[in-house]
Amino acid sequence: MERSRDEAKKMAAKFLQTNRRSSLTQIWEMIEETKDCVPEGSPTLKDTANLTALEELRQKSESRSFREYADFAAMCAPPGVKFGKLNEWYTELCAVVSTYHRTPEFANDYTRLIHLLYDTAFQMIDAYQQYKAERGLIDFADQEILFLQMLRENEAVRNEISLSFRLVMVDEFQDSSPVQLAIFSALSKLVQNSIWVGDPKQAIYGFRDSDSQLFELAMQSVDKNRANKRINLGENFRSRPGLVYAVNEIFKGIFRDSLSDDQIVLAPSAESLVRERSYKTAPLEVLAFPAMKEEYKFAAIGEYIKELLASGRQVYDKEHCKQRGIRGSDIAILFRSNSQLN
C-alpha cells in the first residue's frame, strides 16, 4: 500500500508541474493510471475502497461543468465529510492536487485580476462623472453628497435652516446610509428638536448602502447624551395577538445575537385583545405545498383566495370599527423577488 500512495503522489505532482490548466479528461486519465499503483497480487480492501470512491467522484462530476483541475480540487473533501469511503490515500492525492491554489502563479493571476477589476471600476466612475459634468446632471447620490457639503461648509444654508425649521423628523431610520446619517446629524444640530423613528428588524435597504448596525450605534450615541431620550414602542396595534406572539418567537431566534428582548418582543394592544374574542378563525394559516412547479403553486394560491372571498369570512374594518365580509382589497400577496411575477 505504501507503493500505491507514493506513486499516486508522484503522478499528481508531475501532473501539476507540467500542466496547471489541464482538462478534466486529463485528470481522469491520471486517476486511471493511479489504479495500476497497487501492490502485486490481489488489491487490498483499502485499495478497492479508494478506487471505488474515485469512480463515484468521477460519476458525480460528470454532471457538472468542471473544466480545470482547480474545480476538481474543490470537490476534495476530508474523509467522512462528503464521501465516506475516502481515506488517507485519497486525501493525500487531493492535498497534492489542491496545492495549485497556493502557487505563486495562481497568486499573481489573482492579484492582476483584482487590480484589473478596480482599475476598470475607477475608469467607469470617472467616465460617469465626466458625462454628468458635461451635461449639467446630478444623480441621487450627488444630491446627498452636495447637500451634506452645504450643511458643513455653507454658513448661509445653515442659518436659513436654523431660522426656518424647529423640528427634524426621520422615519424608517434603520434604512439610512452613512451619508444620510451624516445629513440627519448635521440637521439635528441646527434645529431645536429632532425625532428619529426606526426598527432594526425592518432594515431592507442593504443594496442602497443602509446598515442596520448604524441604527444601534446611533442609539448608543443617544443614550450617552442626557439631553436625549430613547422611547421603546412596545405595542403592536396592527396585528392580531396570535400573529404578534408567533412573530416574536421567530424574531427572538433571528435577532438573538444582535438585539435584546425588549428591542424584539412586542405586546398586542389592549384593543386587539378585546377584539380577538369576536374572531372565529385562526390568526395564522399555513398552506403546505408538495414538490411542484411554481406555476402550480401560484394556481393553488389563487384557488385558495377565490374560496376565501366566497366564504364570507369576517374581518375587522378599522375605518368603520366593526366586522364585515372579506374583500379582495383586504388581501396582499408578497413575493420574494420580482422574477416570480413573470
pLDDT of residue 48 exceeding 80, the answer is no
> Are the beta carbons of 173 and 210 closer than 8 angstroms?
no
Q: For residue 34, with 0-12 CB atoms within 10 Å meaning exposed, 13-18 middle and 19 or more buried, which class applies?
A: buried
Residues in CB range of 212: below 8 A, 6 or more apart: 174, 200, 203, 258
> Are the beta carbons of 9 and 93 closer than 8 angstroms?
yes
State the average pLDDT for the chain. Answer: 77
Ramachandran assignment for 304, one of left (phi > 0), alpha (psi -120 to 50 degrees), beta (any other): alpha
What does the longest C-alpha to C-alpha distance in the chain come to? Answer: 97
pLDDT value at residue 54: 60
- Determine the Cα–Cα distance for residues 204 and 96; give it in Å rounded to an integer: 44
> Are the beta carbons of 174 and 200 closer than 8 angstroms?
yes
pLDDT of residue 304 exceeding 80, the answer is yes
CATH 3.40.50.300 residue ranges of the chain are 140-231
pLDDT of residue 12 exceeding 70, the answer is no
- Which of 151-165, 238-252, 291-305, 319-333 shows the lowest mean pLDDT across its residues? 291-305
> How would residue 133 be classed by pLDDT, with cut points 50, 70 and 90?
very high
pLDDT of residue 86 exceeding 50, the answer is no
pLDDT value at residue 200: 82
> How would residue 39 be classed by pLDDT, with cut points 50, 70 and 90?
very low
pLDDT of residue 172 exceeding 60, the answer is yes
- Determine the Cα–Cα distance for residues 266 and 255; give it in Å rounded to an integer: 14
Give the C-alpha distances (Å, rounded to integers) separating 212 from 43, 69, 216.
60, 41, 7
Fold of 140-231: Rossmann fold (3.40.50)
The set of cell numbers assigned to 254 is 433571528
> How would residue 73 be classed by pLDDT, with cut points 50, 70 and 90?
low
pLDDT value at residue 107: 75
> How would residue 205 be classed by pLDDT, with cut points 50, 70 and 90?
low
DSSP conformational letter for 200: G
DSSP conformational letter for 329: G
Q: Is the dihedral of CA 36, 39, 43, 47 positive or negative?
A: negative
Q: Which tens digit of pLDDT belongs to each residue from 252-280?
A: 988 888 788 888 899 999 999 988 888 88
> How would residue 159 be classed by pLDDT, with cut points 50, 70 and 90?
very high
- Determine the Cα–Cα distance for residues 90 and 76; give it in Å rounded to an integer: 9
- Please give the model's pTM, rounded to 2 decimal places: 0.58
Q: Which tens digit of pLDDT belongs to each residue from 112-132?
A: 888 898 999 999 999 999 999
- Which of 60-64, 184-188, 281-285 shows the lowest mean pLDDT across its residues? 60-64
pLDDT, greater one: 35 or 235? 235
> Are the beta carbons of 103 and 73 closer than 8 angstroms?
no
pLDDT of residue 321 exceeding 80, the answer is yes
pLDDT of residue 26 exceeding 70, the answer is no
**Mean pLDDT on 286-303:** 83
> How would residue 84 be classed by pLDDT, with cut points 50, 70 and 90?
very low
**How many CA atoms are closer than 13 Å to the CA of 73, on its beta-carbon side?**
20
> How would residue 64 be classed by pLDDT, with cut points 50, 70 and 90?
low
pLDDT of residue 8 exceeding 70, the answer is no
